[in-house]
Amino acid sequence: MMLTEEGAHRLVLAEIDDMRSHSAYDLQILRVEALAFGWIFYWGAVRDGQSGQRPRFGGNAPFLVDRENERLIRTATGVPIARQIADYERRLRREAHARNAAAKQAAQQT
């Protein structure tokens, strides 16, 4: 069964909850975008009630979540997110090719 967006949301919230214990900020998911393989979750600190500004919070690179295999991937802050998405999509194609080759080989041996 494939992961739903709601299930992906829970995975990301669990990761953010782990970080909350190390942060003085109120952290939350700020935006979600659908991708071909799943979703990208942008997260960060909630706006300050007094200043209305969002506190700068280092290391809050978005999470990628793959719906098919339920992978949660932490992205890097120093690499453009578009490149990281393209790299992950290439990884998925390589994995699919390897599965297909293994299935073909197994079928030939029977």
Q: Model confidence over 43-58: pLDDT tens digits?
A: 988 765 565 566 566 6
Domains of the chain, by residue range, sit at 5-77
Q: Model confidence over 76-94: pLDDT tens digits?
A: 988 999 999 999 999 999 9
pLDDT at 8: 98
How much is the average pLDDT of 21-39?
Answer: 89
9 compared with 45, residue with greater pLDDT: 9
Count other C-beta atoms under 10 Å from residue 91's C-beta.
Answer: 14
Assess whether pLDDT exceeds 80 at residue 100. yes
Q: How many helices (H) does the chain have, and how many strands (E)?
A: 2, 4
Residues 6+ apart with CB under 8 A from 82: none
Assess whether pLDDT exceeds 80 at residue 59. no
Rg (CA), the chain: 18
Q: How far is CA 87 from the centre of its chain?
A: 13
